[in-house]
Amino acid sequence: MKTRLFLTALCAIPFSASADTSDWLRSISELSAGDTTWVMVATILVLFMTIPGLALFYGGMVRKKNVLATMMGSFASCCLIALIWVIFGYSLAFTPNNGFIGGTERLFLQGLDLFSAEGKLSIYPGAPTIPESVFMLFQMAFAIIAGAIITGAFAERMKFSALLTFVGLWSALIYVPTAHWVWGLDGWLASDGVLDYAGGTVIHINAGIAGLVAAMMIGRRVGYGREVMMPHNLVLTLIGTAMLWIGWFGFNAGSALAADARAGMALATTQVAAVAAAFTWTIIEVILGHKPSALGLASGAIAGLVGITPAAGFVSVQSALFIGVITSAICFVSATKLKYWLGYDDTLDAFGIHGVGGIVGAVLTGVFVSTDISGTDTTLWIQTQSVIITVIYSTIGSFILLKLIDKTIGLRVEYEDERKGLDLVLHGERVE
């Protein structure tokens, strides 16, 4: 039975859900050196976004007593999620089984081998010109940054053990199924026509919502709203922003899974959205009577990059400019107003920028999608449905996981430990 393949929502490819191993093998001579090289570079760029990019971006915004613990969240998440991906994550996300979860053909990455005797290599059917090992690592880097993004929402107050437990369970039970729904060979949202070029729904909405739930359940930081909690080193944040920005070209353009025209278009739309969003945030600050801030410029750039992610290979550069401006303006309100109106403490705006930006970007993909560029189309309602489904699943799933963790090992450090700082209390180290 044929099913429509939406790998990063690129195109429709006939594929048999009951195919045997031979369908995953291709002659080595059929590989493209250019495509393989580009996706390998893109994989490195996406991993670079988490370590050190996101680690520095987050680390510079917290107080000095928590900088190492905050950066540890990104580094430890990288290690844990990579292991999960090797053991079962990749298999359950990307092998065919049914519309809701993948199969077991690649548990512990079995079958991901070079068949030198036959001169054949395992190939993921949605990426026929690169080795499956490269595709697997590219998707691993996506899973890693999704889990690491969440840690910014509850920075400065969660136990390290609780952080690892939540990120690990969330990756296995929330991220993996969602990735299969949208990007899998037989994913049900892909079959419905949902477009998510590089992870607006799967990564940013998913992680942002989980971060919001965690921030609300764990409660606000000690002294929040009464004490000044200034970032300790915005130089680190700007360096991290630059690394994220550069890495994002691998994130979006790499999702073409080939060195082709679509990759080039994704590269261009990514840059245009980022610069438009960065300046939009700064202009809003000035209009409201504030000085143009380094943190604002960095936040605007990240908002634009998040907003263009689901649309990067489906829209024109002109549309990318509008997506950047709109996403930045809405994220500005979310990060500077909404969390204070509603009273939750999203420490580093994981929800305010990633969650909200992902929602805006996913919806705007349905508004600005170009059939001439994408070769496919979607509707505003289909995109909105995907947002609603992801929000509901991530909210309920994250709540259950956090409640279980709180009832067993506990989520939050003690009051006095939070006052001392997590670097010394959790890791026995501190920055002088």
* pLDDT at residue 97 greater than cutoff 80: yes
User: How confident is the model over 103-129, as a mean pLDDT?
Assistant: 85
Q: Give pLDDT, residue 117.
A: 61
User: How confident is the model over 113-140, as a mean pLDDT?
Assistant: 87
Q: Give pLDDT, residue 119.
A: 75
* Residue 69: both structure tokens together: 């613990």
Single out the residue of 251, 83, 82, 77 nearest to residue 154, CA to CA: 77
**For the segment 279-332, what is each residue's pLDDT rounded down to a tens digit?**
999 999 999 999 999 999 999 999 999 999 999 999 999 999 999 999 999 999
* pLDDT at residue 72 greater than cutoff 90: yes
**For the segment 317-366, what is each residue's pLDDT rounded down to a tens digit?**
999 999 999 999 999 999 999 999 999 999 999 999 999 999 999 999 99
* pLDDT at residue 75 greater than cutoff 90: yes
* C-alpha–C-alpha distance, residues 60 and 183, integer Å: 34
User: How confident is the model over 231-245, as a mean pLDDT?
Assistant: 97
Three-class secondary structure of residue 209 per DSSP: helix
User: 296-319: string of b/e by CB count within 10 Å (b at 16+)?
Assistant: bbbbbbbbbbbbbbbbbbbbbeeb
Three-class secondary structure of residue 4 per DSSP: strand
* C-alpha–C-alpha distance, residues 366 and 377, integer Å: 8
Could you tell me if 328 and 356 are in contact, meaning their C-beta atoms sit under 8 angstroms apart? Answer: no
Q: Give pLDDT, residue 28.
A: 80
**pTM of the complete model:** 0.93
* Residue 169: both structure tokens together: 């369970």
* Residue 90: both structure tokens together: 């990749």
C-alpha distance from residue 160 to each of 151, 166, 221, 382, 395 (Å): 10, 10, 16, 38, 22
Q: Give pLDDT, residue 8.
A: 38
* Residue 211: both structure tokens together: 């971060």
**For the segment 36-66, what is each residue's pLDDT rounded down to a tens digit?**
999 999 999 999 999 999 999 999 999 999 9
* pLDDT at residue 91 greater than cutoff 80: yes
* C-alpha–C-alpha distance, residues 217 and 214, integer Å: 5
- Give the contacts of 398 (CB within 8 A, at least 6 positions apart): 170, 174, 209, 210, 213, 214
Q: Give pLDDT, residue 22.
A: 60
* pLDDT at residue 84 greater than cutoff 70: yes
Amino acid at 147: G
Per-chain mean pLDDT for the chain: 92
* C-alpha–C-alpha distance, residues 348 and 20, integer Å: 46
Position 17 confidence tier, pLDDT thresholds 50, 70, 90? very low
* pLDDT at residue 12 greater than cutoff 60: no
Instruction: Identify the weakest region by mean pLDDT among 89-103, 104-118, 231-245, 267-281.
Output: 104-118
* C-alpha–C-alpha distance, residues 144 and 163, integer Å: 14
- Give the contacts of 180 (CB within 8 A, at least 6 positions apart): 92, 93, 94, 100, 101, 102, 187
Burial of 13 (0-12, 13-18, 19+ CB in 10 A): middle
* C-alpha–C-alpha distance, residues 200 and 206, integer Å: 8
Could you tell me if 336 and 296 are in contact, meaning their C-beta atoms sit under 8 angstroms apart? Answer: no
User: How confident is the model over 236-257, as a mean pLDDT?
Assistant: 97
Could you tell me if 133 and 40 are in contact, meaning their C-beta atoms sit under 8 angstroms apart? Answer: no
- Give the contacts of 158 (CB within 8 A, at least 6 positions apart): 214, 218, 411, 412, 413
Residue corresponding to tokens 């036959």? 118
DSSP label of 428 = S
How is 35-91 classified by DSSP, letter by letter? Answer: HHHHHHHHHHHHHHIIIIIIHHHHHTTS-GGGHHHHHHHHHHHHHHHHHHIIIIIHH
* Residue 27: both structure tokens together: 């002659």
Q: Give pLDDT, residue 21.
A: 56
Single out the residue of 92, 67, 212, 213 nearest to residue 143, CA to CA: 92
In angstroms, the first-to-last Cα distance of the chain is 63
* C-alpha–C-alpha distance, residues 232 and 423, integer Å: 14
